[in-house]
Amino acid sequence: MTPFGDAMRELRRIKGVSQKQMAEALQVSPAYLSALEHGRRGQPSFDFLQRVAGYFNVIWDEAEDLFAAAGLSHPRVVVDTSGLPSDYTAFANALAKVIRHLPPDVIEDMQMALDRGRKRS
């Protein structure tokens, strides 16, 4: 799953819309919507995001949240550590190897650590 997939699925649930109905309205295949919701497709295009926001007639704040979720939804992330100390590269590689096995509480702890680090820089 991705943050965008979760957000889109929740919008569909709230509005009572099936993937098939939404796909038809947005002129995409239901398989494409399913792949987006399940994280098997990369970030959607800006055009697609605008069509989703228009389809659900979301207010600006909700559209902004939807766009932000899309920005965090690339399922195959590349971390460029070139030019950084070797500890950074080792950390990125170690995380890549274990991320799918980490329990949710560890992910939450790591997210809090990232947030603290962002505030310090």
Q: pLDDT tens digits for 56-96?
A: 998 888 889 889 989 888 777 889 999 999 999 999 999 99
Region 93-119: mean pLDDT is 94
Region 3-21: mean pLDDT is 92
- H helices of the chain, in order, are 3-15, 19-26, 30-37, 46-56, 60-71, 86-98, 104-120
The band of 55, judged by pLDDT with boundaries at 50, 70 and 90, is very high
Q: Say how many C-beta atoms besides its own lie within 10 A of residue 52's C-beta.
A: 25
Would the pTM count as exceeding 0.85?
Answer: no
Question: Quick one: pLDDT at residue 63?
Answer: 87
The band of 103, judged by pLDDT with boundaries at 50, 70 and 90, is very high
Cα–Cα distance between 42 and 56 in angstroms, integer? 21
Cα–Cα distance between 30 and 44 in angstroms, integer? 14
